[in-house]
Structure 1
Amino acid sequence: MDDGVSSFVQIRGSVPLFWEQPGLQVGSHHLRLHRGLEASAPAFDRHMVLLKEQYGQQVVVNLLGSRGGEEVLNRAFKKLLWASCHASDTPMINFDFHQFAKGGKLEKLENLLRPQLQLHWEDLDVFARGENVSPRFQKGTVRMNCLDCLDRTNTVQGFIALEVLHLQLKSLGLSSKPIVDRFVESFRAMWSLNGHSLSKVFTGSRALEGKAKVGKLKDGARSVSRTIQSNFFDGVKQEAIRLLLVGDVCGEEVADKGRMLLDNTALLVTPRILKAMTERQSEFTNLKRVRIAMGTCRMASERRM
């Protein structure tokens, strides 16, 4: 079976809305939505269409909580998906990880999450190919999110990967217990290293473990490190990302004015120049008076006792 190949692709991504975490983030998460649901709908639709074009059928697994700022984002995400044209063919599985699997109680994943996922295995399938192997093709992916797509997502994606691993090995004709156990052991070690590597890239610390007393002490130290990193050092990273993706690092007000007044190439200038150009807009813009008619209608009903 040296030529046998099998794979299963999963996707992780932030909630596809316009939102941010302003101010100091200590303890609970403070979130702010930049745009309403109607204004976010076109970008959300493009995102889902792109996923379906590239990966096929989508199953959304939402791990956001139901308290504080996460609850606001969670509710907005569900409303936007259910109100979109993708609601009919894009199932959403909502699993509050902090509520059901708090303290590393991963048996809840088996009891509560596994039955919901099993409903969609046939729609997704796995890829398998090789000599004396019946060809199989993956037809869709699981799109998963928590808030930062790190610890919770790492845990649940690892759980799903282990569930699918048995199916992959069976499709390759490797179903004996010693072989399966060896693959599972190797995968756990590999996935742990993967989670730590991703966490270091985004937070500067290893992934949270959430188990045993020693693990909780380590998690506490890592949480403090993450708080310092996110509140005092992430600003420069965010500006670099924005410069690469958007082309400017201006404040929202200046950037919005610049987009209305200038073409996209002008947005590549420094924020100082762009601000000066928006302040001197009267020198290169003309005003034109327009008339706008607006009407409202209020339907009042009379209740009789």
Structure 2
Amino acid sequence: DTQGYVANYVETEQIIEKGGQKTSFVQTRGSIPLYWTQYPNLKYKPHMELSHEDHVAAYSKHLIDQHQRYGNQVLLNLIDQRGNEEDLERGYRAAVAAAALPGVRYEPFDFHAECRGMRYDRLNVLIDRISHEQTEFGYFMANGGSIMMQQTGVFRTNCVDCLDRTNVVQSMLAKRQMTAALKMLEVVKGDESNPKLDGLFNTVWADHADMISTQYSGTGALKTDFTRTGKRTHIGMIRDGINSLTRYYKNNFSDGFRQDTIDLILGKYVVADGEG
């Protein structure tokens, strides 16, 4: 909106504690900070439309606020660079270039094109491109009452609804941070792994994905088979198909009532005298 607030926005903080030591790693996700709409019209993927408003001003307000809160920003945009999502990607890229805000970098990654054919190993291409910035940003660490390290920037990740593709990438960044933190806390040494902690991590992040998705879309997240097991599976794809059909029904036939209710509660719709 005109204040720079986006439709869907979540801050996620991963906290690891050992005795009096504590680490924290913060990431954010949020809708693309432009004026755009996607109205349900019974199509599986409704057309996305950019409105004729000052996108650069809205984008700038949002990112200036984010920079003040979190420090430097890497904008991970995971939407398609061709087809239905292409105009939105171009609009985002153009706004970033026009605003040229310091401490902000745009990193597009066409998730669907890169990972086509269940090639989720291709996500390492993205991680390799941004790993130096994750090292640079670091994470918060405290020992008792003493602050040992502070995080100096965040990755702001988005897809279209900031759920499924976003969850996958955020969990990979969180896994890298957890590995570094466990070494710092001397829970693991060298390249050794801890299967129990790895399993707990996968469960926490998959459940986290499901909770956000259920709140926003009415179903659990897609692609959580990868988050839970590290592999994309055919059974997971079948579950995704069921959830996608459920979302389609809810988007077209039940979410309208929910949106009307929210608008009424927030005062965006005022009941006229004699109405109802």
Length-normalised TM-score, structure 2:
0.82
Q: CA deviation at 1:134?
A: 7.6
SS of aligned partner of 2:79 = coil
- Sequence identity, in percent? 30
Deviations 1:163-193 (A, max 9, x none): 1111111222222366643322210011111
Q: Which residue of 2 aligns with 1:192?
A: 206
The gaps in structure 1 that reach 5 residues or longer are 250-268, 274-305
Deviations 1:236-271 (A, max 9, x none): 2223444455x323xxxxxxxxxxxxxxxxxxx43x
Q: CA deviation at 1:66?
A: 1.6
Q: Which residue of 1 aligns with 2:87?
A: 72
Structure richer in strand, relative to its length: 2
Q: Which residue of 1 aligns with 2:9?
A: none
Alignment root-mean-square deviation, CA: 2.2
Cα 1:132/1:233, change in 2 over 3 Å: closer
Larger displacement relative to structure 2 (225-234 or 129-138): 129-138
1:194-213 aligned within 5 A: 194-209=208-223, 211-213=232-234
CA distance in 2 between counterparts of 1:78 and 1:154 reads 22
Q: Which residue of 2 aligns with 1:22?
A: 39
Q: How many aligned residue pairs are there?
A: 248
Q: CA deviation at 1:122?
A: 3.5
Q: Which residue of 2 aligns with 1:155?
A: 168
Aligned mate of 1:119, from 132, 136, 161? 132
The answer to whether the Cα contact below 8 Å between 2:71 and 2:103 also exists between their aligned partners in 1 is no
Q: Which residue of 2 aligns with 1:93?
A: 107
Deviations 1:22-81 (A, max 9, x none): 242533341111234xx1222211111110111111111000102233111110001001
Q: Which residue of 1 aligns with 2:268?
A: 248
SS of aligned partner of 1:120 = helix
CA distance in 2 between counterparts of 1:118 and 1:22 reads 37
- Supply the AA of the counterpart residue of 2:78: L
CA distance in 1 between counterparts of 2:85 and 2:126 reads 20
Structure richer in helix, relative to its length: 1
Q: Which residue of 2 aligns with 1:144?
A: 157
The gaps in structure 2 that reach 5 residues or longer are 1-17, 226-231
SS of aligned partner of 2:149 = coil
Cα 1:232/1:59, change in 2 over 3 Å: same
SS of aligned partner of 1:143 = strand
Cα 1:12/1:222, change in 2 over 3 Å: same
**2:22 matched to 1:5?**
yes
SS of aligned partner of 1:10 = strand
Larger displacement relative to structure 2 (24-33 or 172-181): 172-181
The answer to whether the Cα contact below 8 Å between 1:8 and 1:138 also exists between their aligned partners in 2 is yes
CA distance in 2 between counterparts of 1:45 and 1:240 reads 31
The answer to whether the Cα contact below 8 Å between 1:4 and 1:133 also exists between their aligned partners in 2 is no
Whose radius of gyration is greater, 1 or 2?
A: 1
- Supply the AA of the counterpart residue of 1:46: K
Q: Which residue of 2 aligns with 1:57?
A: 72
